[in-house]
Amino acid sequence: MANLASDRANSDQFLFERDGSAQGLTRRSVLGGISALSAGVLLPEISQAKPAVPYGVATQIEHFRDDPVYRAKLLQYCDNIVPMNALKWASLRHTEGKFDFSAADQLIEFAEQNKCGTHGHTLLWYDYNPDWVNAIDDAKTAEKVLVEHIETVVDRYKGRIPTWDVVNEVIAHDPRWFGQWREGMWLKLLGPAHVDIAFRAAARTDPNAELIINDYDLANWGSRFNKRRAIMLDLVRHLQDQNIPVHGVGMQAHLYAEREVDHKQVVKFMRDLKALGVDVWVSELDFIDWKLSADHSVRDRAVAQVATQFLDAVFEGGPPRAVTTWGISDRHTWITNTFPRDDGLSSRALPLDENYQEKPLMQVLRGYLAMRA
């Protein structure tokens, strides 16, 4: 998401190169790998008997309200509606002591009316908190507010939202250098127990909901990514050891189009999670194309190639429970502003272009998923 820009648009490139793990796709290798594609559409070679993996779209309330074509495309393509920001703290709790569910309710009701599934994002995040929450300075108040928030939100949608990202981005950006945990007010006041507290509150409030840890940078090649995968496995084991329900991992996939997906390690990660009895949700798929050619067809084919590499690995080790893109159209993507291209062009990050026309990425998704269209 856009709030990670300082970590991922600046330090991430430096850390990646310092690690010596830059195995990314050069323009030459991209062109060579896709030269045989006559129509620029890269389709995966998989069985015709596709698993019933639903396609979700993270949906921003402003675009949903203002753009009728946006709403129509949600109905045309997606199985799950995921509120992008409407269930986060700053959206729900502008003022201390009050909840504002208007945006979240509108999206959930739209999904229900149109027989779409839903997914809750997110109950706890170090970022996007209102000022009054960030001003909390003692552990007792922090725990009280956290538990009250989770109980209130989960109870409101009990039986309506079946899966929740309980905690979001709790692993340090680079745990090789900065330790396991992502810094933030919840960690500062409650320590690592903030994860346990959040999961217990969610499980107690809706025992039938599936509860997920959601985090990023779990797909690429290199020691930083290996460390992040290992920590995620340890977090799942820790919750299980405490008899705290945990049902899955949200594998954010904000993928850099010039970097290599570590097929072997992604397959292993999927299988390691399966051995622990938990599933994977591909939760925030989109593509950062800031290093690629200005040519739309080159960028689109490169994105399709990386998407195929990633989904090949995920489905070989899986399949996942769902695949969700972080938006549906390049008209509304955070990537353009957060990872700006030197040439000033808009990003080609999502399955539909700025005019809501299908791109090769949509064809790749259709090859893997049981999609509506």
Give catalytic residue positions.
Answer: 169, 284
**CA angle, residues 52, 244, 171, in degrees to nearest 5:** 80
* The amino acid at 250: G
d(CA 234, CA 227): 11
Q: Quote the tokens at residue 320.
A: 């996942």
Q: Quote the tokens at residue 372.
A: 């509506």
d(CA 124, CA 92): 12
- Cα-Cα-Cα-Cα dihedral sign, residues 182, 274, 312, 280: negative
d(CA 82, CA 118): 6
Regarding beta strands 254-256 and 248-251, do their DSSP bridges make them parallel or antiparallel, or are they unpaired?
A: unpaired
186 with 124: CB under 8 angstroms? yes
Contacts 24+ apart (CB under 8 A), 90-94: 90/128, 90/129, 90/130, 92/149, 92/153, 93/130, 93/132, 93/133, 93/149, 94/130
d(CA 207, CA 122): 17
136 with 89: CB under 8 angstroms? no
122 in helix, strand or coil?
Answer: strand
